[in-house]
Structure 1
Amino acid sequence: MRHRNAGFKLGRNTSHRRALLRNLVTSVIIEDRVETTVAKAKAVRPLVEKMITLGKKGDLHSRRQALAFLMTDDSVTRLFETVAPRYGDRNGGYLRIVKTGFQKGDGAEKAFIELLGAEKQLDEKRQKRTDAKAKKRAELEKQLEESKAAEGGEEAA
């Protein structure tokens, strides 16, 4: 029987599980979207929602509680200045879990855990990434053409 046995153990001991969840919460707050297993996504959801609620309070005690849990100071700053104000009029339900398929090695079910309302930021990140790739590809092609031209000039001489 599983009476009164709440929570997810995730196949880890207490300290490892706590470290994993703290890292995942920090990553979700910094990146807006993280791919992980469904079990981890479901385990991390209440913790992220609690952090956003602390961010919405915005007082010194809430900031210190967030600092005690999150792994980086940058994530706390982002939580209080960017993420929490996004949900000022919303009472909970800040996350979405989207199943994406299965992991190659062990067949575990994968999912994205993402903050609602972050689509605009995610699109901007995606656009920056594609622009950077295109710029890098153009530079490499230019270098390749220059090296071919230099080789052709040496052979002619």
Structure 2
Amino acid sequence: MRHGKKINHLGRTTAHRHAMLSNMATSLILHKRVTTTVAKAKALRQYVEPLLTKAKDDTTHSRRTVFATLQNKESLKELYGVVAEKIGQRPGGYTRILKLSANRAGDNADMCIIELVDFNETLLESKNAAETKTTTTRRSRRRGGKSEAAGNEAGTSAAVVAEDAPAVSATEAEATTLDAPADEKQTPAAE
């Protein structure tokens, strides 16, 4: 049993595991999302989030420690430029794991997408749209009984009908009754 053991070894030696996670972290920083297995994504999240936290503090020491881990100058530039600017206000939780419904064809492994939270444009747009959408408060049903609610509905429907109907004067009403065909019965207009 692996009680209290926090590291998932992923079936690799230590050097192979560190090299793989470094390459995956570089790909995640450069491309903002990576499709991989769930186990690797969870290991990558533990590996890359401290690096993202260090990137918020742009000092020579933090750059050197991150470079010692990543070993890639392009990813370091991207991390300290674009990524650090976007995640500067976020207190943590820089990555998101989205599980995919389809498993991998070869070995039926659970697949997922790991991505940087602040770079998913579709979710950010839907979040902003939800914030700008006006919200209405729900009203309690206890306040008005059924008779009061029915009276309110009848009053509003009569008001709507009155607004929609055009105003007809008495002379127009007489003119319409005079223009009607003679074979229909007409009621005399009240004068």
TM-score grouping bracket, smaller chain normalisation? 0.7 to 0.9
**TM-score, normalization: structure 2?**
0.61
Return the alpha-carbon distance in structure 2 between the equivalents of residues 42 and 4 of structure 1: 17
**Are positions 1:86 and 2:92 aligned together?**
no
- How far residue 120 of structure 1 moved from its aligned partner, in angstroms, is 3.3
Residue 6 of structure 1 deviates from its aligned partner by 1.2
Query: Mapping of 1:5-154 within 5 angstroms?
Result: 5-100=5-100, 101-120=102-121
Q: Deviations over 1:13-65 (max 9, x none)?
A: 11111111111111100100000000000000022111111110111100001
User: Which structure has more RCO (C-alpha within 8 Å, separation ≥ 6)?
Assistant: 1
Structure 2: gaps (5+ residues): 123-191
Task: Measure, in 1, the Cα distance between the counterparts of 2:43 and 2:56.
Answer: 22
Alpha-carbon distance in structure 2 between the residues aligned to 1:46 and 1:87: 17
Q: Within 1, Cα distance between the matches of 2:111 and 2:4?
A: 28
Q: Secondary structure at the match of 2:8?
A: coil
In 1: Cα distance, 2:30 partner to 2:117 partner? 14
**If each structure's helix is expressed as a fraction of its own residues, which one has the higher value?**
1
Whole-Å separation in 1 of the counterparts to 2:85 and 2:109:
35
Q: Report the structure, 1 or 2, having the larger strand content.
A: 1
Q: How many residues align?
A: 121
**Deviation for aligned residue 1:5:** 1.2
Distance in 2 separating the partners of 1:41 and 1:108: 12
| One-letter amino acid of the counterpart of residue 71, structure 1 | Q
Q: Percentage identity across aligned positions?
A: 45
RMSD: 1.3
The runs of at least 4 consecutive aligned structure 1 residues that moved more than 6 Å come to: none
2:56 alignment partner, SS class: helix
TM-score, normalised relative to structure 1: 0.74
Q: Which has the larger radius of gyration?
A: 2
Give the match's secondary structure for 1:34: strand
Paired AA for residue 84 in structure 1:
A
Shift of 1:4: 2.5
- SS of 2:113's equivalent in the other structure is strand
